[in-house]
Structures are given as structure tokens and as C-alpha cells.
A and B are shown apart, each in its own frame.
Chain A
Amino acid sequence: MTKDVKLSRRQFGQATLAAGGAVVAAATPLRYARGDDPLKLGLILPYSGVYANFGEGITNGFEFALKKRGGQLGGRPVQIVKGDDQLDPKIGGEVTQKIVTRDKVDVVVGTVGSNVLPIMQKICTDNNVPLIIPTAAGNDTTRSLCHPLVFRVSHSNWQMTSPAGAWLFKRGKRRVMTMGMNYATGKEEVIAFADEFKKAGGDIVDQKWPGLRELDYQAYFADVLAKQPDAMFTFFAGSNAVEFVKQYAQAGLNERVPLLGAAYLTDSTLLAAQGAAADGVITSGHYAPTLDNAANKAFITEYHAATGKDADLNAMHGHDSLEVVALGLERTKGDVKDRKALSQALQKVEFASPRGPFRFSSARNPVQNIYAIEAQGGLLRVLEIIQKDVEDPTAECKV
């Protein structure tokens, strides 16, 4: 029997590879005018796997923003080449290699998984192709690994949660327990919060790191009751966030130990699935669809009119990724060949994003506001600005 199992596992691997080979590579010519030299954009995202809804939302926001600009960037028609990285570094690397070297795209937009990003970034920078990152938030990307052609549109992990440390202390919480998904992003987000909370004078009573494939958090909860912290600060995303928030409320913990976390915990796409379990959960983040500013109101209304869907964080990231490329190319008048000029043009991009004012730091990570956001009745409500113009430390970025 063990032999069968072993063989089946190998076969499993081969099947996975075969599936990876059948890459989603749909070329979508938009408004192709004869004689025009189209600008080729590679859009490499997870379209399958646990973060598939991220890939879909980013793509919708990206295509919406492109359509709003008449399908043209810097006066050139646009051709999009899509690739599915499946949240897998190996497959992501193969897909990026193909799209960069065979399809010869001018700009790559990708990706979500911070596990896939390093290989994608290496292939892009080795080939001198600009990379616009819509989501992946590893701190290193815009610190020690920063590169003149790599621009991030979302946030760094540190940026999203570190302002919440001092803020929560100021709100009277002294003893806090943390829980975070046990991978690079979970660790960076939770540790950034914990460091600042301790600096402010607070006490971290315990830290738990459940695995990515965790199904049942109940076993962790006895300890929460035993230690009686003032609050629980967490990082969970996707279906793990749904499971954690539901189980936390089912165990009656939300009434005893207030639940907080990075904004992904109660992302607007998850609220329906979380239901009443999410009520009262407060997160720190750079965007909520209910944010009260002119750019966001226009974005929400127009996006809904164009797609029939409610805009969310992913759609905003997709939208802003396209805006960054568009505003950069406006400055270069559609020229992408002069990489130095392109890098400088992108660096100067500044606009009113749905999230609030957007500009790049010298390390090419956004400088942006971080908000306190509360979930209530299936909606997100912005309570206040935790900190204005938060900038990820740039000292480690030398180029």
C-alpha cells in the first residue's frame, strides 16, 4: 500500500506540472489601430489557488482603468498578455520568463504572492523590464532588494500595521496577544505591530503562528482565555481570515478580547462570508471602499457602473497599477525604450488615489495614509486616520 501512495504522489507532482504548463496566456488586443505600435503589458497574477480572487479583482480594476483611458497609454494602444502564476514560485518563474523573453512585454504588472515575487523581480530586472507590483508586500522588495525599475503600488507589510502599535497603546490597551499566519507576510505584519506596541510601552503576552493550511483554530483559544489579554492583533488573509474570524466569534471570544488585525482580516470581499462574526473587528490599512474622498467616490460609482461589481481593495490596487503606468508614460510620451527616463518618470508619479494622496518614496514604495477601519453589518467604516503619510524606511535602499 505504501508503494501505491508513493507512486501516486509522484504522479500528483507530474499532474501539477502538466497543469502548470497549460498557462493561461490570453492575448487581449484592445483598440488595435493599424500602424500603431502597441504597448505590451504583461499581467502576471494568481488566477487559480487560494488567492485567485486577488488576481481577478486586480485584473478587473486594471482593465476598468485602462478602458476609462480609452484603451491607450501615452498615446499608444495597449495589448495585455496574461499569465497565471498559481501562487507558485516555480510556475510563476516559468510564466514570467515566457512573458518577458518570448512575448517581449514592455512592462510587467505582478504579483500577489510574496513567495512568487522574488523570482519575478529577478527575471524582470535581469531583462531590464519595469515591474509594477499591485499587491505583494514583502518589506525587502523596497528595502535591500530595491531596484530603479521596481515600483510597488500597494504597501509594505511594515507600513500597514506598524502605525497601529502606538495607536492601540494610546487607546488604553496594555497587554496584547498576537496571532499570524506562519509565513513571511504574516510574520512581517504582526512583528511590525508588536515592535511599535512594545516601543510605546505595551506588553505582548504571547504570539501564535498557525500554519497556512490550518483549518481549526479552536485549540489556540483556550490559551487566549487563560491569558486574558486586552486585545488580540492578527494577520490572516483570504479563506483563512474567514475561518479565523468565524471561529473566534463562535467561541465567544470577540465579546471578551477585542479582535484587531491588518486590513486583509476583514477585506470587503470576505465580509459576506464572515457575516455577523466580523462585527466590531478593527483593522489597520491603507484603503476601505467607504473612504470619504472625491477620487474614491468616483472610483466606486464608475467601477460599479462599468463592471456591475462592488470595488474592493484588489480592484483599487489594479486601478492604481494602471494609473501609475499611465501617468509615467504620459511623462515619457509613450516611450518605454529609455529605461532611465521611464524610471524617473514613474518615480515622479503623484495622484489622488481612491485611498488618498499617493506618491512614491525614494525606495519606490507608496507614501500614504493608514486608517483605522471597523467592520459593522457587512460594511467597512473608516474610524479615523491612524497616521498620515506613512513612509516605509528607505535607509536600506541604496539605488
Chain B
Amino acid sequence: MQLSTFLIQVLNGVQYGMLLFLIASGLTLTFGVMGIINLAHGAFFMIGAYLVFQFTRFWGWPLALAYVAAIAAVVALGAVVERTVLAPLANRDHLDQVLVTYGLILIFDELAVIQWGKDVQPAEIPAFLRGSVHLTDMIIYPVYRLALAGAGLACAAGLYLLVARTRLGMIVRAGSVDRGMVSALGINVAPIFALVFGLGAALAALAGILAAPILSVSPGMGDKIIIIAFVVVVIGGIGSIKGAFVGALLVGLFDSFGKVLFPTVSSLVIYALMAFVLVWRPTGLFGKRA
């Protein structure tokens, strides 16, 4: 493999990894604090993308406003879902929660079909991020993808500061170790849960909005990416933001090199990676020990 090909695949891997991190981080955050495996995360991803489509195409809003409004709307939706659907099930079995969130996927997918139809819808790239740059004479790279990787890194930094440096982050970290003890210490977990769930939903919506110009806006668009996001979360260790970051990078790099080095089995490469990690560390790279 030529050096330039190697470097471009590293860039591809990091860039794809950052996209995966955007969606996996919200997933792992929700699980870490609330213990909920939120399958509906993929639905929030989809709704974020669809709302931007609705706001820009039908209501003519500028893109920046549409982004902010879509994220706000998904956060609100997340809070409502958490208060009305998930909170009453807080003490129930994981399986009940999984079933409920799976039901939410079906409901949201169907609502998207009713509102926007079954066709694939367009998503614009902001004007200043269109076009591509020459990395070498031969290799050109879309500016938008570089921006996407930047957004992923910025989110990772933001989450790191939030989790490591704030009081909320402290509770989140404590919660991911022992939720019962956190509430026993007199911390009212209910608003924290709603906040974290809202933040998770915001990350999902942001990921959906940013991914839409590269992917496609269609019913069930979240279902395809949520599976890989779960692979990322499982590799990194469920509940760990750091794990999600490392897991996303690993999956991104393995995926992009797998496509070049083992083209015939490339779709298996990341699952082989997951199997290897789970054999080596059953709780994932940064998961709490059983």
C-alpha cells in the first residue's frame, strides 16, 4: 500500500469514526446514567434530519436556524418520552425497556412515513462547506467530511469537559458506577435523568443532521446506523464516553482499511473486531468489570 493511500485511509477511518462517535456517545451516555438501552436513539437521529428537511424545504428557514430548532425539538421530544414512557418503567427489567424503546422506533418510523412519505429526501450541505480540497495532486477530499470530523472531535472535547470537569459530570460518572448509591446520597436523580436523556437525544439529532448530506433522509435511516453504533458502544464498554470515542475510532479505521485490504469480507471486519474485543475483555475496552 502506498503511503498516500495509507494516509487517506487513515483520514477516511477517523472521519467515519467521528460520525459514529456522534451517535454512539449519546447512546452510551444514556445507558451509563440511566441503565436504559435506548433503541429509539436511531429514531431521534432520523427525526433530527427530517426536521431540518421540513424547516428548510417547506418553511424556508435558513439552515443554521433549522439546525438549532431541530435539535431543540428533538431534545423536547426526548424529555417528553423520558417523562411519559421511560420514567414509569425505571424500576422494571431491562427487557421491558428494550421492548418499549423498540416500539418507539416502529412508531416514529411510521410517523415519519405518514408525514414525509416513503421516498428518500434531500439534505443540503451549508454553502460554505461545499466543494473539495486537494490534499495531493491526485487526492481530493470533500470539505464537508473534514468539517464533520471536526464536529465529532469538538463534541468529544465538549463531552470530556462536561463529564470530567462539572458537577453534572460527576453525578453522571457516579451514576454509571452505582445508580442506587447516587440517589441514596440525596441527589434527586429524576431531573438528572431527564437532562441526560435530553442530551443524548440532542447528540442523536445532531448526528442525524450532520450525517444527512452524506447519507440519505429516509424512513428507517436510523436503523442502519444504530447497529454499528451499538457495535461501537459494546467495543468501548457500555456507559463509557471514552470507550465510545476509542471504539468509534477503531471501528472507523478497521472499516476503512478492511474495505481496501479485505474487500471480500469487509463487512465482517468490524464484527470480527467486536468478537475479538469481547473475548479479550467481556465488558468492552473501558467497561466496568463484572
- Which of B16, B103, B119, B120 meets A216, CB within 8 Å? B16
Q: Does B95 contact A (CB under 8 A)?
A: yes
Shortest CB-to-CB span from A369 to chain B, Å, is 27
Asked whether, in the complex, the Cβ of B120 is within 8 Å of the Cβ of A238, the reply is yes
What mask results when residues 322 to 336 of chain A are scored 1 for a CB within 8 Å of chain B, else 0? 000000000000000
B217 and chain A: residue at smallest CB distance: A273
Interface string of A268-295 (1 = CB under 8 A from B): 0110111100000000000000000000
Does A53 contact B119, Cβ atoms closer than 8 Å? Answer: yes
| Smallest CB-CB A-B distances: 6 pairs | A211-B267, A219-B256, A242-B216, A53-B118, A273-B120, A250-B142
Q: Considering the chains assembled together, what is the distance between the CA atoms of A208 and B266 in angstroms?
A: 10
Q: Does A70 contact B (CB under 8 A)?
A: no
Q: Which chain B residues numbered 1 to 57 have a C-beta less than 8 Å away from chain A? A: 2, 5, 8-9, 12-13, 15-16, 19, 37, 39
Digitize A231-254: 1 where CB-to-B-CB distance is under 8 Å, 0 elsewhere: 000000011001100110011100
Question: Which residue on chain A has the smallest CB distance to residue B106?
Answer: A19
Partner of B113, one of A5, A52, A246: A52
A8-B95, A216-B16, A243-B215 known; A1 vs B120 contact (CB < 8 Å): no
Q: For the complex formed, measure the closest distance between the CB of B129 and the CB atoms of chain A, giving whole angstroms.
A: 10
Q: How far is the CA of A252 from the CA of B117 in the complex (A)?
A: 31
Within 8 A of B (CB), among A182-224: 182, 208-211, 213-216, 218-220, 222-223
Partner among B37, B132, B224, B259 whose Cβ is within 8 Å of the Cβ of A213: B224
Q: Is the CB of B139 within 8 A of A225?
A: yes
User: For this complex, into which size category does the number of interface residues on chain A fall?
Assistant: 35 or more
The contact of A15 among B8, B102, B217, B283, by CB within 8 Å, is: B102
Any A CB within 8 A of the CB of B255: yes
Q: Identify whether the interface residues of A are mostly helix, strand, loop, or mixed.
A: helix
Considering the complex, give the chain B residue whose CB is closest to the CB of A312. Answer: B119
Question: Which residues of B does A touch, CB under 8 Å?
Answer: 2, 5, 8-9, 12-13, 15-16, 19, 37, 39, 94-95, 98-99, 102-103, 106, 109, 113, 117-123, 125, 132, 138-142, 144-145, 213-221, 224-225, 227-228, 234, 238, 255-257, 259-260, 263-264, 266-267, 278, 282-284, 287, 290
CB–CB B220/A222 < 8 A: no
When the two chains form their complex, are residues B37 and A273 in contact, meaning their CB atoms are under 8 A apart? no
Bound together, the chains give a CA A239 to CA B9 distance in angstroms of: 24
Contact B255 A219 (CB under 8 A): yes
Q: How far, in Å, is A312 (CB) from chain B's closest CB?
A: 9
A239-B123 Cα distance, complex, nearest whole Å = 13
Q: How far does the alpha carbon of A12 sit from the alpha carbon of B100 in the complex, in Å?
A: 11
**Is there an interface contact between A7 and B217, defined as CB atoms closer than 8 Å?**
no
Q: Closest approach, in angstroms, between the C-beta of B280 and any C-beta of chain A? A: 13
CA distance A48 to B12 in the complex (A): 32
Residues of chain B lying within 8 A (CB to CB) of residue A252: 132, 140, 142
User: Once the chains are docked, how many angstroms separate the CA of A49 from the CA of B219?
Assistant: 8
Q: What's the A-B contact tally at a CB cutoff of 8 Å?
A: 145
User: Which residues of B have CB within 8 Å of A8?
Assistant: 37, 94-95, 98
Contact (A208, B263) CB under 8 Å given A2-B282, A219-B13:
yes
Contact B214 A243 (CB under 8 A): yes
Q: Is the CB of A272 within 8 A of B13?
A: no
In the bound assembly, the distance between CA atoms of A19 and B102 in angstroms comes to 11
> Do A209 and B216 touch (CB < 8 A)?
no
Contact of A56 with B by CB under 8 A: yes
Decide yes or no whether A50 CB sits under 8 A from chain B. yes
Interface residues of A in 35-69 (CB under 8 A from B): 48-50, 52-53, 56
- Which residues of A1-29 have CB atoms within 8 Å of chain B's CB atoms? 1-2, 4-5, 7-8, 11-12, 15, 19
Asked if residues B122 and A273 are in contact (CB atoms below 8 Å), the reply is yes
Chain B residues lying within 8 Å of A210, measured Cβ to Cβ, are 259, 266-267
Residue B214 contacts which of A50, A213, A216 (CB distance < 8 angstroms)? Answer: A216
Question: CA A11 – CA B94 in complex, angstroms?
Answer: 10
In the complex, the answer to whether B140 meets A219 with C-beta atoms within 8 Å is no
**A306, CB-defined interface residue at 8 Å:** no
- Contact B94–A209 (Cβ < 8 Å): no
| Shortest Cβ gap from A62 to chain B (Å) | 16
Q: Are B119 and A215 in contact (CB under 8 A)?
A: no
Give bound CA distance, A118 to B224, whole Å: 25
Most buried by B among A48, A52, A216: A216
- Decide if A399 is an interface residue (CB 8 Å cutoff): no
* Other-chain residue from B102, B119, B120, B132 in contact with A250 (beta carbon distance below 8 A): B132
- Chain B contacts of A223 at CB under 8 A? 5, 260
Partner of B12, one of A12, A15, A209, A222: A222
- What residue in chain A is nearest B123 (Cβ atoms)? A273
